[in-house]
Amino acid sequence: MPNAQPTIAIRPIAASDAESVLALLDVALAGTPHLAPAQEAIALASGADDREYRALVALREGQIRAVACYGDLLGSDKVIELHLMALASPEEQDVARELLGAVDDASRASGARFVFTELPDDGTLDAAYAALRNAGYREETRIADYVRDGVALVFLRRTL
């Protein structure tokens, strides 16, 4: 009998997850300019009920292996913005796929038409970029030299 992968559980972030999620972000985003904004997004998602900032965590064997923060793009017509998706390890693409599927499900349930995200094309978020592409996100557009000279801002979209 082949070894079965441990089950992946997805649930909304809880206040008790703060230390584990922040540790995951420290590893996933170490040395990048994305750490502080990710920490802020998680703080907003962990606070009061907020349509703009919600977060889900993915657990394997009781350990948080990924986090996604998303929410309504206020003023839009049923659009969800994925603020961040971070993995404890780039190899856990199966966890990312499950987590992004749960974001899709929650977004559909809210009546959203699509989910979008924006990433710098500088190699600092390669694991997240790979996970998004594997989950069906496609490049919508890019703005050259937006992040800094030579680094484009890439917009990805997944139609629901």
**108-118 pLDDT tens trace:** 999 999 999 99
Domain count, the chain: 1
User: What is the domain extent for residue 43?
Assistant: 8-116
Q: Is the pLDDT of residue 23 over 90?
A: yes
Confidence of residue 124 (pLDDT cuts 50, 70, 90): confident
Query: What ranges make up the beta strands (E) of 46-88?
Result: 54-60, 63-72, 79-87
Instruction: Output the CA–CA distances (angstroms, integers) from residue 139 to 95, 115, 117, in the order listed.
Output: 22, 12, 10
The mean of the pLDDT values for the chain is 92
Q: Which residues pair with 71 in a beta bridge?
A: 81
Q: Is the pLDDT of residue 81 over 80?
A: yes
- Give the separation between CA 21 and CA 18, rounded to whole angstroms: 5
CA 87 to chain centroid: 9
Structure tokens at 34: 């994305």
* Mean per-residue pLDDT, 90-101: 94
pLDDT of residue 115: 97
**142-158 pLDDT tens trace:** 999 998 899 999 999 99
**34-56 pLDDT tens trace:** 999 999 999 999 876 778 999 99
Q: pTM for the whole thing?
A: 0.91
In a domain, 66, yes or no: yes
Structure tokens at 62: 């009781």
pLDDT of residue 9: 96
Contact criterion met (CB below 8 Å) for 118 and 72: no
In a domain, 68, yes or no: yes
Q: Is the pLDDT of residue 98 over 80?
A: yes
- Give the separation between CA 128 and CA 137, rounded to whole angstroms: 11
Q: Which CATH number is 85's domain given?
A: 3.40.630.30
**3-state SS, residue 128:** helix
In a domain, 131, yes or no: no
Confidence of residue 5 (pLDDT cuts 50, 70, 90): low
Q: Which residues pair with 8 in a beta bridge?
A: 60
**3-state SS, residue 14:** coil
CA 125 to chain centroid: 11
Q: Is the pLDDT of residue 2 over 80?
A: no
Contact criterion met (CB below 8 Å) for 119 and 127: no
